[in-house]
Copies of this chain bind each other. A is one copy, B any other.
Amino acid sequence: MQVLKDRIQEQGIVIEPNILKVDNFLNHQIDVKLYEQIGKEFAKRYQDQKIDRILTVEAGGIALACFVAQAMEYQPVVYAKKDPSAIISDDVYYANVHSFTKKRDYNIRVDKRFINENDNVLVIDDFLANGEAGLGLAKIVEEAKANVVGFGIVIEKGFQPGRNKLEEHGYRVESLAIIDEFKNGEVVFK
């Protein structure tokens, strides 16, 4: 998605060997027009699929998932909540997720009322790097006996193993910008 790649080149900041800061338009300050374009792009890429529900995880994915629903057919959006506590009730699906950036584990959970058996679920997230959050969301969908239609990722770090892990499970992955490497503080796309 060229408009997104241009934006990353112009305003993204490479702050550590592997960290890209895009807080100017994606995940602290939000450019709502860009979010609309992102929503429409995912709607286009998955237009061949029946989608009953859009799943994401707080906080960065929520608004993105809403604009995907708006560009599709106003499917219900569900966001997994992050819960640092170990207390999990019987009424939720949950998955344990390791965050490499925050160097800790956390649980993500979805109330069982919000995924139905046989639902076709599109998973949306802002980043794909190690694939931990993605696998956690997919585990939740599978436990609900629903189907993962695929993943819609805004920025993929192509040099990290996330895509491989998801594809090994047979999941389709659509990313709008795939980063090949960071070179001298610049972003190189695939």
Q: Is the CB of B78 within 8 A of A32?
A: no
User: A63-B62, A66-B67 known; A79 and B28 CB under 8 Å?
Assistant: yes
Chain A 41-76, CB-CB to B under 8 Å as 1, else 0, gives: 000000000000000001100110111011000101
CB nearest to A77 among chain B residues: B30
Cα distance A3–B123 in the bound complex, in angstroms: 29
Q: How many copies of the chain does the oligomer comprise?
A: 2
CB nearest to A28 among chain B residues: B111
A76 proximity list for chain B (CB < 8 A):
29-31
Q: Contact residue range for chain A?
A: 20 to 34
A62 proximity list for chain B (CB < 8 A):
30, 59, 62-63
Contact residues, A69-124 vs B (CB, 8 A): 69-70, 74, 76-79, 81, 110-111, 113-114
A33 on the interface (CB 8 Å rule)?
yes
Q: Is the CB of A74 within 8 A of B32?
A: yes
Q: Is the CB of A24 within 8 A of B113?
A: yes
The 8 A-B pairs with the shortest beta carbon distances in the complex, nearest first, are: A59-B59, A58-B59, A30-B77, A63-B63, A32-B69, A63-B66, A29-B114, A29-B78
Tell me the A residues contacting B by CB distance below 8 Å. Answer: 23-24, 28-33, 35-36, 58-59, 62-63, 65-67, 69-70, 74, 76-79, 81, 110-111, 113-114
